Amino acid sequence: MTQVTEGVYFIQGQDEMIPDSHVYVVGKPGSQDLSIIDAGLMGKGSYKIQSILNMGIELKTIARIIMTHTHLDHIGCLAEIREQIPWAELWVHDTEADPLEKGDERTVYGMEMFQNMCMMQYGLKPGAFTFYVDKRLQGGESLDVGEMTWEVVHIPGHSPGSIGLYNRIEKILIPGDVVYADYAIGRFDLHGADGSELKNSLLQLAKLEVNILLPGHNRIVTDLPTGYIAETAKQWAPYLT
Ligand SMILES: [Zn+2]
Ligand SMILES: [Zn+2]
């Protein structure tokens, strides 16, 4: 785990056959009000917890887990992490909260073929990803957590309830799987995905001034060129209809 800036820590995903999402821990040290952003793949819970401990962060200072979205590579080890911090609340966008509470796992797995493969490979039972959601995010609100302010931006298209978290003061964007480094974007062929929504979401993100891009996979960028997201949206626009 490395520190990106004061109050933002990065834990690199450990990809297997299936990718493991990065995890970010946000909140000023000493606030006792830290948030974990995303969890990761099945089996990666102890790696993520150990990384947090190695940074000298006490688990009791973690108040919540916020999901950028509920795909398997982000939510797979949520239960493992919550075993270590059972008091932590779960915050998810409204659109993906309902299915999560009802045990509708179509968004988690994205496609049926992948679901069957994963359930066999990891010995997962139907309903393994059923969670109570403590707070339903809508988009447009500001979260005052850990002595920082994170604006919630609803950016559907990769998944219906994808959110970005934006810190306006330090110009940091945590976009989940919506936009990555190197002009890459998230896939838009899974359950609930929509290319034209993804285009609109990219255009919405392009309005934000972003210096630090902290995506769900691949490299993080701490000196993002001006207009990067607008340029990414432009390059992909012909495919996002
Ligand atoms: Zn995803
Ligand atoms: Zn992902």
What confidence tens digit (pLDDT) does each residue in 143-158 have? 999 999 999 999 999 9
Determine the Cα–Cα distance for residues 64 and 27; give it in Å rounded to an integer: 11
- Give the separation between CA 102 and CA 37, rounded to whole angstroms: 22
Sheet containing 148-154: which strands, arranged edge to edge?
A: 142-145, 148-154, 163-167, 172-174, 212-213
Whole-number Å distance, alpha carbon 114 to ligand 1 midpoint, is 13
How does pLDDT run across 121-138, given as a tens digit for each residue? 999 999 999 999 999 999
Q: Which of 40-44, 111-115, 201-205 has the lowest mean pLDDT?
A: 111-115
What would the pLDDT profile of 210-237 be if each residue is shown by its tens digit?
999 999 999 999 999 999 999 999 999 9
How far, in Å, is the centroid of ligand 1 from the Cα of 78?
Answer: 15
pTM of the model: 0.98
* CA of residue 58 to ligand 2 center, whole Å: 27
Give me ligand 1 centre to Cα 161, in Å.
10
Q: What is the pLDDT of residue 154?
A: 98
At residue 82, the pLDDT reads: 97
Backbone angles phi, psi at 189, to 5 degrees: -120, 5
Q: Which ligand is nearest to the CA of 108?
A: 1
pLDDT number for residue 1: 74
What pLDDT score does 8 carry? 98
Nearest to 81 by CA among 126, 36, 145, 125: 36
* Mean pLDDT, all residues of the chain: 97
Q: Is 236 helix (H, G, I), strand (E, B) or coil?
A: helix
What is the CB-side half-sphere exposure of residue 18 using CA atoms within 13 A? 21
Nearest-ligand number for the alpha carbon of 216: 2
